[in-house]
Amino acid sequence: MLAPKLIEGFVFVLTVGSGLFVLYLLADLLRLRKRDRGPAYKGGIGQWSWAAHRITGILVVAFLFGHIVDTFAVGFGPELYNETISLYQQWWFKPFEVALVAATIFHAFNGLRIILFDFWPNLALKQKQFAYAELVLFLIAFLPAAFFMLRSAYEHSPFS
């Protein structure tokens, strides 16, 4: 059947394409181009939060595209949909889901931090404290989720 091959191909192109795009963004960010061979600009936590915000944003959007494509498979009947979605049930896929959770939580908290500065410019004077507080909140939200997800992945893996 042509449809599963098409969908698989589409998901593959989206995944690899977005991965390459993220690599390009990283190279661009670190200014590793030929004419600029110096190391990355040693900005503070604000610069790295900005970079991480972009990268996580692109990752989440890339996943959403893939997710739309796999949901699209439901139009071809339950067999194809179940087959496509079974990818997410594989034990080795869980770490990618954990990465998705990390990207989403970071992007959400960082977005809220930026919005705070938009509403109250005076808070910008304490930007470092806000950035570190955000990282703490991120860890509080992310670590338990990662623990439970990876534990279930481990139980279903051949290593357990």
Partner 1 sequence: MKVHLRLLRFNPETDGEPHFEEYTVEADPMDRLLDCLHQVKWRHDSSLALRRSCAHGICGSDTMLINGVNALACKVLVKDMKQPVTVEPMRGLPVIKDFIVDMEPFFAGYRAVKPWLIPDPDAHEPARERIQTPDERERFDDTTKCILCAACTTSCPIFWSDTEYVGPAAIVNAHRFIFDSRDYGSRERLQILSGKGGVFKCRTAFNCTAACPRGIKVTKAIQEVKRAALYDTF
The residue within the footprint of partner 1, chosen from 1, 2, 35, 158 (CB under 8 A), is 35
46 lies in the site for partner 1, by CB under 8 A = yes
- Name residues whose C-beta falls within 8 Å of residue 2's C-beta, 6 or more positions apart in sequence: none
Among residues 43 and 95, whose Cβ is nearest to partner 1? 43
Q: Binding to partner 1 (CB under 8 A): which residues in 99-128?
A: 114, 117-118, 121-122, 124-125, 127
Contact region for partner 1 (CB under 8 A) — 7-15, 45-53, 98-106, 144-152? 45-53
52 lies in the site for partner 1, by CB under 8 A = no
- Name residues whose C-beta falls within 8 Å of residue 33's C-beta, 6 or more positions apart in sequence: 27
Q: Please, are residues 69 and 11 in contact by the beta-carbon 8 Å criterion?
A: yes
AA identity, residue 150 = L
Q: State the minimum distance, in angstroms, from the CB of residue 61 to partner 1.
A: 17
Q: In angstroms, what CA-CA distances link 84 with 87, 93, 102, 121?
A: 6, 13, 24, 47
Q: Please, are residues 102 and 96 in contact by the beta-carbon 8 Å criterion?
A: no
Sign for the CA dihedral angle at 145, 92, 99, 4 comes to negative
The residue within the footprint of partner 1, chosen from 1, 5, 37, 158 (CB under 8 A), is 37
Contact region for partner 1 (CB under 8 A) — 31-39, 64-72, 78-86, 90-98? 31-39
CA distance 88 to 90: 6
Q: Binding to partner 1 (CB under 8 A): which residues in 70-89?
A: none
The residue within the footprint of partner 1, chosen from 44, 77, 95, 111 (CB under 8 A), is 44
4 lies in the site for partner 1, by CB under 8 A = no
CA distance 11 to 26: 23
Chain residues that interact with partner 1, rule: CB under 8 A: 28-29, 31, 34-44, 46-47, 49-51, 53, 114, 117-118, 121-122, 124-125, 127
